[in-house]
Structure 1
Amino acid sequence: MIGRQVQLLLCAVQFLTRLPTPPLRGFEPDWITRSARYFPLVGLLVGGISALALLAASAGWSGWLPAILALGVGFLVTGGFHEDGLADSADGLGGGQTRERRLEIMKDSRVGTYGVLALVTILGAKAAALASLTPLNAALALVTAHGVGRVAAVAAMAALPHVSDRDHAKYKPAPDGVKPAEVLIAAILGLWPLLLAPALGALAAIAFAALLATAMALLARRLIGGYVGDVLGAIEQVAELGVLLGLAAFLA
């Protein structure tokens, strides 16, 4: 039992990051879905690495530079996995006129105007929110945002139907999808850092994250009928932004 959970955790790390891990023996297609319970834990790991980079950079610089460098370290750890999904979702949902065309655009590796604008706006807002905080508060906000962002993605996996062509999709969900118990585990693993923040800041972070993530999920459901992997990346990114905006409002 413990061995299987370790395998699922390693599967989550392999799926979401570029960090080196031991090879997985006996891999089965449904492991990625079953490992979703650990996505927020991987998010805390990514956020922790980014937070350490921010604190180290803050020893030599002030202002926006530590925040930008910390975001850059996050990109290196994940390979820009979620940011790529944000850009593709913006291009597809913003540029397509039909469901089929939107899905086709999302599969295109090229980034269009909508994608660039989404990346600049959201990443710029993240950097600005972090730069408004003290280094310690910014580090806490980074860790929290990465955890909550993955919780939002896991919740979307359970709430929305998967609509991508399974034969060509990067992520092929298990037939029974993400189970409610797995969402609960993900929430416990990803939300606990909010306990370290002031109550009003934590409530604002959850409220903003839930609002932005829900808006993105509802938009995807209306325009393409559900989610694909790129939509999960977009939901994760806007939820991260929501956390940073909420915490910055009360900690800045």
Structure 2
Amino acid sequence: MKDAGYGSLLALQFLTRLPVPVQCPWNAGTSRWAVRCYPLVGLLLGGILALVGHLLGTWLPPTLQVLVLLSLWVALSGGLHLDGLMDVADALGSNAPLERRWAIMKDPHVGSFGIIALVFLLLWKAALLLVLLEAGMSLAVLAVILALARFGAVALLVLAPAARPEGMAWAWKRHLGLRDLLLALWPLPLCFWLLPGWLLLFVALVPFLLLYGWGMTRAFKGINGDIVGAAIEGGELWLLLIAWIWWSSAMG
């Protein structure tokens, strides 16, 4: 149980900028539990966003509400996954040989493709948040989406090959097995209480992960930390789009 406690705090430290004033040991047990808690961290972050959005909705117009929510969304994660998105976009946009793509991904400078990817991702997130708010959908959907996107990261870490025996993704991955993926499902039944019908979003996540995992394996021969971070951002955007399609169809 000590490993589970430390693991949950490690997940919180790694995936968020929320203060965790505890020094957590890193070992095989705590790192496995940290990955298993990824969806739980997503539920927490999404719950914070939903609560703030509910409070803001009483006195802010929808456009300003979306701007505050999106700003908080980025701040809570410290832009960690956005950094991965920009690195992957720069590497893919270079159309260079594999080794050069790896060098570009490791370069701390951001290129034009990274900026373009960042701008369009945030614009699409803002637009989808706005239409969901205006359509009257419960902001509890954010808790579900953030949890599922981080479950997708766990699936990639467990099932996709590591591109190289180095880096953060490999450090997480080398202790993981299928059992850890199954245990990462444990927070997801809470999604049913938050959003009946959430299984539709879970099912919709599968083709995204299959296509993304195949594309990244083909482009980079495997995954790394940046690729997993970009998957979280892409998964959130994809699930926002599916949520809007689903809600529009249900209300139409």
TM-score with structure 2 setting the length: 0.88
CA distance in 1, matches of 2:7, 2:189: 20
CA distance in 1, matches of 2:32, 2:104: 25
Q: CA offset at residue 95 of structure 1?
A: 1.5
Percent identity (aligned): 30
The residue type paired with residue 21 of structure 1 is: V
Q: Which residue of 1 aligns with 2:98?
A: 99
The residue type paired with residue 118 of structure 2 is: L
Given that residues 96 and 105 in structure 1 are in contact (C-alpha distance below 8 angstroms), is that contact kept between their aligned partners in structure 2? no
CA distance in 1, matches of 2:47, 2:219: 35
1:250 equivalent in alignment to 2:246: yes
The residue type paired with residue 36 of structure 1 is: V
CA distance in 1, matches of 2:190, 2:177: 21
2:182 to 181, 184, 195: 184
Deviations for 1:113-165, whole angstroms, at most 9, x for unmatched residues? 22122222222222211111238735112111110100000000011111245
CA distance in 2, matches of 1:184, 1:234: 22
2:217 to 215, 221, 224: 221
Give the unaligned 5+ runs of structure 1: none
Q: CA offset at residue 239 of structure 1?
A: 1.1
Q: Which residue of 2 aligns with 1:212?
A: 208
CA distance in 1, matches of 2:105, 2:131: 34
Give the unaligned 5+ runs of structure 2: none
Q: CA offset at residue 207 of structure 1?
A: 4.3
1:63-212 matches, cutoff 5 A:
63-134=62-133, 137-164=137-164, 166=166, 169-173=167-171, 176-190=174-188, 192-194=190-192, 196-199=194-197, 202-203=199-200, 205-212=201-208
Q: CA offset at residue 245 of structure 1?
A: 1.0
Given that residues 163 and 227 in structure 1 are in contact (C-alpha distance below 8 angstroms), is that contact kept between their aligned partners in structure 2? yes
TM-aligned CA distance change 1:9 to 1:198, over 3 Å: closer
Q: Which residue of 2 aligns with 1:36?
A: 35
1:238 equivalent in alignment to 2:234: yes
TM-aligned CA distance change 1:128 to 1:208, over 3 Å: farther
Q: CA offset at residue 100 of structure 1?
A: 1.1
Q: CA offset at residue 72 of structure 1?
A: 1.0
Deviations for 1:11-61, whole angstroms, at most 9, x for unmatched residues? 111111111113235433774344100011011111111222222222222
CA distance in 2, matches of 1:161, 1:226: 5
1:137 match: secondary structure? coil
CA distance in 1, matches of 2:127, 2:138: 11
The residue type paired with residue 178 of structure 1 is: L
| RMSD of aligned alpha carbons | 2.3
CA distance in 1, matches of 2:86, 2:206: 20
Given that residues 208 and 243 in structure 1 are in contact (C-alpha distance below 8 angstroms), is that contact kept between their aligned partners in structure 2? yes
TM-aligned CA distance change 1:58 to 1:23, over 3 Å: same
Deviations for 1:193-250, whole angstroms, at most 9, x for unmatched residues? 1564353x742x2344333333222111001111000000111111111211111112
The residue type paired with residue 9 of structure 1 is: S
TM-aligned CA distance change 1:120 to 1:174, over 3 Å: closer
TM-score with structure 1 setting the length: 0.88
